[in-house]
Structure 1
Amino acid sequence: MVIDRAGRRAGFAVVVLAYGLAGLAAWGAAVAVGGAPPLVVTLVADLAATVVVFLASVVVANASLYDPYWSVAPPVIVVAWVVWQGGLTGRQVALLVVVFAWAVRLTANWAVSWRGLAHEDWRYVRLRDQRPSWLPFWVVSLTGIQLMPTLVVFAGLLPVWPAVTVTGRPWGLLDAAAVLVGLGAVVIEGVADRQMRRFTRDPANHGRVNDRGLWRCSRHPNYLGEITFWWAMWLFALAAAPNWWWTVAGPAVMVLLFVFVSVPLMDRRSLERRPGYAGYMRRVPPLLPFPVRPGA
């Protein structure tokens, strides 16, 4: 694969500019609704930033401009909540370490994979090609590609709010579990992405199924790691404020997204491109690793 380095640099420059403007828009929106409850202020600012990124994606005709938002916005939001609460507790430090480890790794993985403004995620290309002729793509992009993930991630962050703002409970076993689960999730994602990148870069593997390493036990170990990270956020909330148990809705939404949207979409894509994938699906579970079934 030939990499257009000049195109990549130009693309990253556009991303930096767009996200800088998005940050300014978020700050302005937060100031405008400053009298509202903090969660409402955060959501309004989050949506304002998303709209700016969307407008930038329309200008450059590439919906993938939104892709890093998934991992860039959460640490900004978490830091804002920590600053709003005032002070810095051990639980907040631990949570920030886990969130930043996840965000840096995931953003770096996107940066390595993205080839510039000429490269748009195949899922967005398919949505553009398969949408009804009467439906403008910008509507699909704004609602399905950008606003929906922003709302899903905000739901996933709900447990973080009590975790960083309720400070009366001391550090305990649940906090330790949250750290181990969160960092373990980051490791799982990192190893899975590295194994897949190494596999796909080998020309001999063209059209073949990666059933090595973590991919031997789970068809989507990277998604499993991502889901696990959001459950770690809930463990932090449970450690800080057990009465906020209902924020389990955050990781639950993530499970629904990956189980009913992401996994089926990737499986269909692989079935189209890899003749051996049907047998792989019969042998290997989609997410949680179980003993691999022989044959099939």
Structure 2
Amino acid sequence: MRGGTVWDREGGRMLRGVNLNLLPILRELLRERNVTAAAKRLNLTQSGVSEALGRLRVQFGDELLVKTGRRMVPTALALEIAPRLEDLLATTEDLLRPVRFNPAYSDREIRIATGDTVALALGKGLLQRLAAQAPRTTIQFVSTEAPMRANLEEGKIDFLIIPRGVIPSTILSEEGLERLPLYREDWVIIARRDHPKLTGPLTLDLLDELPSIACRLDDLSYLHGAIPGRRRVDQIQVSQFTLLPILVAESDAVAMVGSVAKIVKLEHAWRRLDGRNDDGFQVAPFPG
């Protein structure tokens, strides 16, 4: 130790022996070259700044500032370290400044585990907002097959968007997870427009007589979109909701779906690509 400073074996000052809180004071002293002016800028007392200068002199082993008349003249060492000190403190202050997220410069990939109808419902709005606000960001919709809580906790997926009740709580516990409602959808029954048996009001008994198609995302999920109260089994089970209207429009089967407006648009677009001009299928509220 020399003059109260801790040195390493090569004679350099060790960081743990340096009071870094004195460096902003030294910066102001080198800028103002006047103890009173520096104290005012730092909102400190003149005696406090004078004491800090004394400790800095010991720390650097140099006078740093020599009083000449009413002003103080920096030594050769002070002039040498001044620009480096400015850069160091500017970098440190920038490091400690809270980072504000700016989507315009974000190039991250966001992975959202969800079903195909959610991607269909959100896709158009996301494309518009990404183009306008986050042109370098990528959103990847991935399958919800066997979504485990660890996938969220380990960062394998960023968000999980599913209807409540689709995945048993024994598979995916919501405890401790941040969650919020995204949108609400009503369940309705769809059937092809010219269905021979749907000429009057839709009843539960009539639904029980008709073949049906349901969606099951994977083996761990509840049968989602299955018509409640039916005694018959669903003849066809698919893993994609967007297949339901296409299959219904080509058969006598019925199905229960949500996000009706989006699914209707999809089915109409499919029929136009297929060269058809009819209205596709009919939509009816679930009979209660």
Query: Smaller-chain TM-score range?
Result: under 0.3
Larger RCO (CA within 8 A; separation ≥ 6): 1
Q: Which one has the bigger helix percentage?
A: 1
Structure of greater Rg:
2
TM (normalized to structure 2)? 0.21
Higher strand proportion, which one?
Answer: 2
